[in-house]
């Protein structure tokens, strides 16, 4: 089964037939060039020209921007900053703390988290208000850095090393930014 860009596109749009999905799921070995085709399909869909290095969520990408920096960018165009910083700390946050607030997004009523024990955090893009992530965590829990990719390692393993390869690119720099809060 050849995995074409059209198939990837249909998957992205939720239009691939279940039987075809099952065929993909049952492949004995995954197609090795999926990543490159995937990037091409994604690049064709965004309105901006920055080169996509990796997709993180439905809306968020790591791109090389016009200044050559590797940043997290929303498909609406909003930039969050260096991808080594948890993008959540550059988003807008709505935190739900009460039962009434919980019931607006959790159903049925009996299944809502317990106020005081848990909060619901919704992370929005400042640019387009898309809901990018949800965390249901106790008060005071630091935002979870879902994925810090080792981009250089990925590209090297796939045979196309990035030109600015450096060990420094696989380092969590979230605290560098947080340290500047309140200053």
Partner 1 sequence: MKTSLLELVEQRDRLTEETGKYYGVHELTLKENDPVKYERFYSRLHATMVAAYEVSRYVTASPGAREMGEVLWGLLTPEGDALAISAGFFSHINSGKYAIRFMAEHHYDQNPGIRDGDVFVTDDGESGGAPHPGDTYTYVPIMVGDELVAWAMGINHIMEAGAPIAGSWPGFAVDTFMDGFVVPPIKTGENLRQFTWWEQMWLRRTRAGTLNNLDDKMRLAGCAMIHREIHKIISEFGLDYYKRAIREIIEESRQMITDNVRRTMVPGRYDGAAFRAVKYKGLQSIWEHADKDQIISIRQRLVVNGDGTIDAYHDGSSHWDYHAWNGYPGGADVAFYLSMINNFAYNTKPTSAVSWVMKTHYPKHSIYNPGVNVASFSNIWAQSMALNSIGFNSVNRGRFAIGYLEESFQAEGDWEGIQGAGVLPDGTPYGVTNFENVGGTAMGAFCFRDGQPIAWAEWTQLANIGNAEEFEYLIPATFYLGRKLLPDFFGHGKYRGGPGQAILHWVVRPGELYLSRGGAGVAYCTFVAQGMSGAYPAPANFHISARGTNIYDLISAGKPVPRDGIELIQMAEEGTLKVDQLDIWRYDMPPIRLQDGDLVATCNGSSGGWGDPIERDPNLVLDDVCQGWLQPDTAKKVYGVVLEKTNEGWTIDQELTTVLRKSIYKKRLDDSVPFEEFWEEERNLLLTHNIIEPVRYMYTHTVSEIYDFDKEVKEFWQLPEDFSW
Footprint (CB under 8 A) of partner 1, residues 3-42: 8, 11-14, 16, 18, 21, 24-25, 28-30, 32, 34-35, 37-39
Query: Is residue 110 close enough to count as binding partner 1 by CB under 8 A?
Result: yes
Q: Which stretch binds partner 1 (CB under 8 A): 44-52, 67-75, 107-115, 159-167?
A: 107-115
How far is the CA of 126 from the CAs of 75, 90, 101, 176, in angstroms? 12, 9, 21, 21
60 in Cβ contact with 131 (< 8 Å): no
Q: Which of residues 70-99 bind partner 1 (CB under 8 A)?
A: 88-95
Which residues does 26 contact at the CB level (< 8 Å), separation at least 6? Answer: none
Q: Does 118 bind partner 1 (CB under 8 A)?
A: yes
Question: In terms of CB distance, is 14 or 66 closer to partner 1?
Answer: 14
Q: Identify residues 132-151 at the interface with partner 1 (CB under 8 A).
A: 132-142, 144-151
Report the residue from 55, 64, 78, 173 that binds partner 1 according to the rule CB under 8 A.
55
43/41 Cα distance (integer angstroms): 6
Q: How many residues bind partner 1 (CB under 8 A)?
A: 86
- For partner 1, the closer of residues 48 and 143 by Cβ is 143
124 binds partner 1 (CB under 8 A): yes
Contacts of 39 (CB under 8 A, 6+ apart): 52
CA dihedral 128, 14, 155, 36 (to 10 degrees): -110
Query: Is the CB of 98 or the CB of 107 nearer to partner 1?
Result: 107
- Residue closer to partner 1 (CB basis): 48 or 106: 106
55 backbone φψ class: left, alpha, beta (φ>0; ψ -120 to 50): beta
């Amino acid at each position: 089964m050849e995995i074409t860009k059209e198939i990837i596109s249909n998957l992205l749009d939720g239009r691939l037939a279940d039987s075809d999905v099952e065929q993909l799921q049952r492949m004995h070995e995954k197609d090795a060039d999926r990543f490159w085709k995937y990037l091409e399909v994604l690049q064709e869909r965004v309105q901006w020209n920055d080169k996509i290095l990796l997709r993180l969520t439905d809306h968020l990408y790591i791109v090389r921007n016009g200044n050559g920096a590797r940043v997290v960018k929303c498909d609406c165009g909003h930039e969050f900053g260096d991808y080594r910083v948890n993008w959540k700390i550059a988003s807008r946050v709505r935190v739900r703390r009460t039962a009434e607030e919980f019931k607006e997004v959790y159903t049925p009523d009996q299944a809502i988290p317990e106020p005081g024990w848990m909060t619901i955090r919704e992370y929005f893009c400042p640019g387009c208000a898309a809901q990018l992530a949800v965390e249901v965590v106790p008060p005071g829990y630091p935002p979870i850095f879902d994925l810090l990719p080792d981009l250089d390692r990925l590209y090297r393993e796939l045979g196309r090393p990035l030109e600015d390869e450096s060990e420094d690119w696989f380092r969590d720099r979230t605290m560098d930014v947080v340290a500047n809060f309140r200053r």
